[in-house]
Amino acid sequence: MFKQPKRRLLKQVSGDGRRDEDSMNMADALLFSACQDYAERAPLRFHTPAHGGKLSFDPAALDLTELPDLDSLYESGGPIAQAEARMANFYGAGSCSFSAGGSTLCVLAMLAPFAGRAVLFDRNAHRSAVSACVLFDIAPLWLWPRDGRIAPDALAAALGAHPEVAAAFVTSPDYQGRISDIAALSRVCHARGVSLLADGAHGAHLPLCGNNLAPLALGADVVCHSAHKTLPAMTPAAMLLHRGASAREDAKRWMGALGSSSPSYAALVSLDLCRAWMERGGREAFAFLAAQVRAVRAFAASAGFAAPDEPADPARLALDAASAGQSGLAVAAHLRARGIQPEHADERCVILIPNWMHTAADFARLAQALGTLPRARAPVPPAEPPSQPETVMPPRQAALAVGESVDVSAAVGRAAAEIAAPCPPGIPVLIPGELIGRVQAELLQKAGIFRVKVVK
């Protein structure tokens, strides 16, 4: 990992080439200090990015730009295009477009061709999908997932009731690692001439996991993956995959319009290195990782944690703390006190994202920490899913309407004028145009959001 001097921000170089040893102190750079302090505490990282602070190259040395020999991301025809073609071949795609703007940019680009049309979404969609509805005046129809998954019969019924729908957008795997039946969903969509789009941001590693559950392999037409979430790539390295090769030109056009004109070459390089690593030894690395995850899941199950419903990501640890009579927030605090940093926690669940660099000793340390949890209370059964809020105006109309910021407690019964999506996981509690109910207000307050914008 590239490390800065411990007590200095950067050693500045003067015009005559001399280093200024008295340059800015770390205390002058608060974010740098916070990140440096975290890195120096060296917790056991069970969170993104998956490289865990260790990269095979120096990002600063390769922080470059569009030079004659280095290609241009949105008009790629040289080494970037060649790297994208090799990535497409690895995933079995017709084309691949690299993103230095995360899966957010990919989601926007995959939905842009459906501007002004109706698209069916699962209500577990990332906030970027809602942003696309606002930007492109997409008319969303919402399907509420069952335990994180969209059922094929529910999709078929919705498409039958709404023949105007041009595409269906699903999330698989979701943040907890739950995987939808993409093969069945794709058959439903294709029988009606509808495109199946999949947000696979958390599933870039799935082709490495034995029974390939990656959305593209199972029939999805367009898929995005965030490589940095589960593979050795820099944040925010991601990719947009199309089943057909002809979609690449439009994908590049939209990504160029929506993304930064100065993409990170270090992130792009990390994508190319990531593909090479996957081809060389990725399957073996994830076979080891999956075996360790299974062992921790078995240990957690012996302590009362409910086992995940299959099919599930074999490399994700989503601990249902409430089923074991624990608070997810308390379990996360317990782990942090023992030098283990999870990805996310809420009242019910703790999410840990292991990577292939974690050793058997690391997983044993995690199991030991789980084994020393305080005495459990009675298990808490899963809560009933919230009722679907009433939509009173299209998202674009609500987001562009005259609005006002009010306390969350005063927003009940008003129409939301913004997206409110605590991140992680970035799933919207509020979507522009939906009436805010008491359940949504309580969720926002628990997430530390106390003011929202509503339509006047």
- Does the domain spanning 73-277 belong to CATH 3.40.640.10? yes
Q: What is the pLDDT of residues 276-331, one digit of tens each?
A: 999 999 999 999 999 999 999 999 999 999 989 899 999 999 999 999 999 999 99
User: Does the pLDDT at position 16 exceed 70?
Assistant: no
245 backbone φψ class: left, alpha, beta (φ>0; ψ -120 to 50): alpha
The DSSP element (H or E) to which 407 belongs, if any, is strand 403-407
Locate CATH 3.90.100.10 in the chain: 395-455
3-class DSSP state of 346: coil
Q: Which residue has the tokens 């939301």?
A: 416
Q: CATH number of 395-455: 3.90.100.10, 3.40.50.2000, 2.60.40.1120, 3.90.480.10?
A: 3.90.100.10
Q: Hey, what amino acid is at 390?
A: E
Locate CATH 3.40.640.10 in the chain: 73-277
Q: By the 8 A CB rule, do 352 and 336 touch?
A: no
DSSP character at residue 279: I
Q: CATH number of 282-371: 3.90.1150.10, 3.40.1400.10, 3.90.1150.150, 3.30.230.10?
A: 3.90.1150.150
Query: pTM here?
Result: 0.93
pLDDT at 424: 86
DSSP character at residue 404: E
Residue 354 tokens read as 């292991």
Q: Mean pLDDT of all residues in the chain?
A: 92
What is the Cα–Cα distance from 454 to 411, expressed in whole angstroms?
7
Locate CATH 3.90.1150.150 in the chain: 282-371
102 backbone φψ class: left, alpha, beta (φ>0; ψ -120 to 50): left
What is the Cα–Cα distance from 222 to 201, expressed in whole angstroms?
12
Q: What is the pLDDT of residues 388-437, one digit of tens each?
A: 889 999 999 999 999 999 999 999 999 999 999 988 889 999 999 999 99
